[in-house]
Amino acid sequence: MHLSELTHPNQLHGLSIYQLQQVARQIREKHLQTVAAIGGHLGPGLGVVELTLALYQTLDLDRDKVTWDVGHQAYPHKLITGRYARFHTLRQKDGIAGYLKRCESKFDHFGAGHASTSISSALGMALARDMKGENYKVVAVIGDGALTGGMALEAINHAGHLPKTNLLVVLNDNEMSISPNVGAIPRYLNKMRLSPPVQFISENLEEQFKHLPFVGESLAPEIERVKEGMKRLAVPKVGAVFEELGFTYVGPIDGHNLQELLTTFQQAHKHPGPVLVHVVTTKGKGYEIAEKDQVGYHAQSPFNLVTGKAAPSSKPKPPGYSKVFGDTLTKIAENDRRVIGITAAMATGTGLDILQKKLPDQYIDVGIAEQHAVTLAAGLACEGMRPVATIYSTFLQRAFDQIVHDVCIQNLPVFFCLDRAGIVGADGPTHQGMYDIAYLRCIPNMVLMAPKDEAELQRMIVTGIEHTGPIAMRYPRGNGYGAPLMEEGWETLPIGKGEILRNGDDVLLVGYGSMVYPSMQVAEILSEHGIQATVINARFAKPLDTELILPLAQKIGRVVTLEEGCLMGGFGSAIAESLLDAEIAVPLTRIGIPDILVDHATPDESKAALGLTPPQMAERILKLFSKQLSTVNV
């Protein structure tokens, strides 16, 4: 069977091991060719090809449910569920999503972009099944990196308390999330992985006893005690911890041996109650370059399949915000032992890998556990340290209560650095950093700031570390503007003070963060039409520089706010509230992200679709002017 003929996963039923191996080879070929051409996640999907095929051959996907965690593992799943023909559109505008989406396919049973959600969602489905008196299988496939998240452990705790609820959890154990996993749980899995499997002993012990002379069926209770004793003796050779939590544990098994996988899944489906199958896989399997560099090939921009090297850039680019952040923080930390960088399993993405290499004693990776990261930072701050919690905007959402309860109520000096704020591109709605301004602005004691460029980022890092209370800085994905950087000697910025970048009497443009430079471009376009703009770099969304903004708003009479975040509750809302409170009644236009989900596309494509390019924003302002002028003339 050719992969292109697979439009429904039930077509795997009845295929031989040899035929499944051929399908596996084709999946890897298509996966590699596609990601090499257009970019995307590479290592995770390559590692679960056999796991996916074996699991799906034992399921009826017209009825049974499978949740994946995290969704970037599910490229093989997409290729065998009717999306082969469109797979070349992966992560592109109007194309196949890089994660699971319920609206994309009936086989995407639960949307999965963030980690540690699969067991909770699968348990919910299993409970709904039982409540409705239905009968189908529910499976959660969870990467071992996601098992470091507290939510997964909460779900395991709950599921283990429900011995009559049939649920299969497949632990895909490859020792990695994006970077190598950290913590006691991955260490425990590693012990099991390196120990000889003894599951077959306890499985077959009773049958062997039956064949002993004069024993037969008479020792059943004693046999059960012996089996349990052998499991204790074999720790950590079997998953005693999982068994104590109420799961039937099977494994570890070879995640690339189709026959072993098929046999294991078939047996696991027969066990009543919650079952955990521990599958050991190799991230990047089948592509030697990715197997050797599992961190570097977790995800890739377009690259050469033969050499593994990324396509050369047409021209040199300024350094990325993450790198500038990592370099600057490391230099500050060298001179200040109080500075502690904290990441939630995203060292490379946030630039904290630079700090990790240079000052490992001032670096903490908590795993995929944002809630713990924030409260850990609060504890550090209580004892005089200066914790820098560096977490993507989309992931900090997961720790909202901890920000309120553990940091802001106690007014502790925790510095939140929100990478990937704004439009992030091909990862789509689950990863867009749209909401941080709104969800942080409402919390007492919190200060919010955003740099206009990478040089101002450096000054804000010093400002955040020196501040004596909670403070957050948002900055975008990608490269800076090429602003001159300093190696040392950065000065703090006065809290709540912006700056004027351009003067004009016709309209006041107030830009925040990544929208400041576009505001300057908008002002240039307006000047070509005879409209002169004052441009303010707000720097702070909270507290606002009302001493600067309000008099200019009243004097000029027309205000436009520009932000790369949600309009509802965002920076423009802060300006609107300030004008209302000061009883300044002037026309206000807010430009930003409307109340919609922004789908996957390149950032430039998304901005164009949202009307956020400088020419589009200038055109909107010009139309407002013409409308206001015509109203005055009438």
pLDDT digits 0-9 by tens, 564-594: 999 999 999 999 999 999 999 999 999 999 9
Average pLDDT over residues 338-349: 93
- Which band of pLDDT confidence, cut at 50, 70 and 90, is reported for residue 231? very low
Q: What pLDDT, in 10s, does the model give residues 481-503?
A: 999 999 999 999 999 999 999 99
Phi and psi, residue 288, nearest 5°: -55, -40
Q: Answer yes or no: is pLDDT of 189 > 90.
A: no
113 or 632, which is more confident:
113
Average pLDDT over residues 116-131: 93
581 or 188, which is more confident:
581
Residue 492 — left, alpha, or beta (φ > 0 → left; ψ -120 to 50 → alpha)? beta
Catalytic residue among 28, 83, 129, 283: 283
What's the chain's average pLDDT? 87
Please tell me whether residue 67 adopts helix, strand or coil conformation.
Answer: strand
Residues of each domain in the chain carrying CATH 3.40.50.970? 3-193+244-300, 321-474
Helix crossing, 150-159 with 118-131: angle to 10°?
30
Select 3-193+244-300's CATH number: 3.40.50.970, 3.90.25.10, 3.30.70.120, 3.40.50.150: 3.40.50.970
Catalytic residue among 101, 285, 370, 474: 370
- Which band of pLDDT confidence, cut at 50, 70 and 90, is reported for residue 397? very high
283 counts as catalytic = yes
Q: What pLDDT, in 10s, does the model give residues 240-277?
A: 788 888 899 998 899 999 999 999 999 999 999 999 99
Distance CA 142, CA 607 (A): 34
Kind of pairing, strands 540-542 and 507-511? unpaired
Average pLDDT over residues 504-521: 97
Q: Answer yes or no: is pLDDT of 343 > 80.
A: yes
Strand partners, 540: 449
Catalytic residue among 137, 398, 474, 542: 398
With b meaning 16 or more CB within 10 Å and e meaning fewer, what string describes 66-91? bbbbbbbbbbbbbbbbbbbeebeebb
**Count of alpha carbons within 13 angstroms of residue 536, beta-carbon side:** 27
Q: Answer yes or no: is pLDDT of 91 > 80.
A: yes
Average pLDDT over residues 527-555: 97
Q: What pLDDT, in 10s, does the model give residues 277-328?
A: 999 998 878 777 777 776 666 666 777 777 778 777 667 889 999 999 999 9
Select 500-633's CATH number: 1.10.3720.10, 3.40.190.80, 3.40.50.920, 3.40.50.300: 3.40.50.920
State the pLDDT at residue 200: 43
**Which fold, 321-474?**
Rossmann fold (3.40.50)
Residue with tokens 């009968």: 135
37 or 498, which is more confident:
498
With b meaning 16 or more CB within 10 Å and e meaning fewer, what string describes 297-315? bbbbeebeeeebeeeeeee
51 or 235, which is more confident:
51
30 counts as catalytic = no
Residues of each domain in the chain carrying CATH 3.40.50.920? 500-633
Q: Answer yes or no: is pLDDT of 92 > 80.
A: yes
Q: Answer yes or no: is pLDDT of 533 > 50.
A: yes
Q: pTM for this one?
A: 0.83
Please tell me whether residue 215 adopts helix, strand or coil conformation.
Answer: coil
Rounded percentage of the chain residues whose pLDDT exceeds 70: 87
